[in-house]
């Protein structure tokens, strides 16, 4: 902020220095009296400076931006009229020889009304210039505040979705472990230990905006192993993930809801079922696919809330707008999900 102020002050000084130096630059090599330069250029420029900063520092904020346009115009007309009278008095009493110097061409001097009209227009220039700069500065500040507010809202919504996902994940995992308590107490104990590791990852690792894809893959593998403890031998689960470091970073917990959904709707207690999970990457794009048998839940089955996929859809829209594709389809009683994410 301090640096920006210094740049602004320096820019103002540079502009006014250039304007005050212009008479010498334009008349270089010509004979020109100092009194004529002061009368025609420096004194009007000095008044322009005062008029500019009166508007820039006081009048625009106090009147124009407060919708007091009529008062703003009246005050500027009064100030400009004062400067015109003052300039006329200075010329009359100090630069008499300059204004009375005869013209070489008869009738070449323009009418006094035309001179006043042109001078009035010249004084309007610094007023318009100050309004333009101040308006642009205000618009830039407003736009920055709008973007900051939008970003804050985005972060708040993402944080809400993240906190929403954690208890949902924990609830589903506890349901799976609960089903093992009577069947296999030892496996239930092992599952609780595995769940504690997964929850540690969710609590301490996923607070960052992005994570290495390799960490997310390791988490997914552990979760799949946990889910496999619940299913019978009739369910076959296969997965394929990149084995080498990809260098890709991605938002955490994007794929877990899809895996939960596959185990929830793709497993039958009485029929054979197959779940195939695959992840590939090309350049900075990750393609995640899951294919499983389709065993729709009964309408009276209230396990779970379906919040996982809704959460995923919202997060994708917020995190990867126009950089993802999410498609589901059913073919030959097999449910297929494809999620493609461009990480850069």
Across 2-6, 135-139, 334-338, the highest mean pLDDT is recorded for 334-338
The Cα angle at residue 259 between residues 258 and 260, in degrees rounded to 5: 90
Enumerate residues 6+ apart whose C-beta is below 8 A from 276.
238, 239, 289, 290, 291, 292
The CATH number, out of the four listed (3.40.605.10, 3.30.565.10, 1.10.8.60, 3.30.360.10), of the domain defined by the range 156-342: 3.30.565.10
The first and second tokens of residue 27, run together, are: 């008349």
Summarize pLDDT for 72-125 with one digit per residue, the tens.
Answer: 999 988 988 888 888 778 777 665 655 555 444 444 555 555 656 667 778 888
The first and second tokens of residue 225, run together, are: 């192993």
Among 243, 239, 283, residue whose Cα is nearest residue 262: 239
Q: Are strands 249-250 and 211-212 parallel, antiparallel or unpaired?
A: antiparallel
What residue spans of 184-245 are helical by DSSP H?
A: 185-204, 213-228
For the whole prediction, is pTM greater than 0.75?
Answer: no
Summarize pLDDT for 35-62 with one digit per residue, the tens.
Answer: 555 556 677 888 888 888 898 888 988 8
Distance CA 98, CA 35 (A): 7
Residue ranges per structural domain of the chain: 2-109, 156-342
Strand partners, 78: none
Instruction: Give residue 246's pLDDT.
Output: 84
Buried b (16+ CB within 10 A) or exposed e, 164-181: bbeebbeebbeebbeebe
């Amino acid at each position: 902020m301090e640096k920006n102020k210094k740049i602004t002050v320096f820019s103002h000084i540079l502009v006014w220095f250039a304007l005050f130096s212009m008479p010498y630059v334009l008349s270089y090599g010509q004979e020109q009296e100092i009194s004529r330069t002061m009368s025609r250029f420096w004194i009007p420029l000095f008044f322009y400076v005062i008029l500019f900063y009166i508007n820039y520092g006081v009048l625009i904020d106090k009147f124009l931006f407060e919708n007091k346009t009529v008062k703003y115009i009246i005050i500027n007309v009064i100030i400009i009229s004062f400067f015109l009278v003052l300039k006329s008095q200075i010329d009359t009493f100090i630069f008499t020889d300059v204004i009375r110097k005869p013209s070489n061409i008869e009738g070449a001097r323009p009418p006094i009304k035309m001179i006043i009209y042109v001078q009035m227009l010249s004084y309007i220039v610094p007023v318009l210039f100050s309004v333009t700069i101040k308006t642009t500065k205000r618009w830039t500040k407003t736009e920055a505040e709008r973007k900051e507010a939008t970003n804050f809202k985005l972060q708040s919504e993402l944080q809400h979705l993240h906190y929403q996902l954690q208890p949902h994940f924990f609830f589903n995992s506890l349901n799976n472990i609960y089903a093992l308590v009577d069947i296999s107490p030892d496996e239930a104990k092992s599952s609780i230990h595995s769940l504690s590791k997964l929850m540690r990852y969710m609590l301490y690792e996923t607070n960052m905006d992005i994570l290495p894809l390799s960490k997310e893959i390791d988490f997914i593998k552990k979760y799949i192993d946990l889910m496999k403890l619940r299913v019978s031998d009739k369910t076959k689960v296969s997965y394929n993930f990149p084995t080498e470091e990809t260098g890709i970073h991605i938002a955490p917990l994007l794929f877990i809801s899809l895996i939960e959904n596959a185990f929830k709707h793709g497993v039958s207690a009485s029929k054979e079922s197959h779940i195939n999970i695959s992840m590939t990457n090309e350049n900075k794009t990750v393609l995640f696919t899951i294919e499983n048998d389709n065993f729709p839940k009964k309408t009276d089955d209230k396990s779970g809330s379906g919040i996982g996929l809704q959460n995923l859809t919202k997060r994708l829209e917020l995190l990867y707008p126009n950089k993802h594709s999410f498609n589901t389809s059913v073919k030959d009683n097999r449910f297929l999900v494809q999620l493609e994410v461009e990480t850069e």
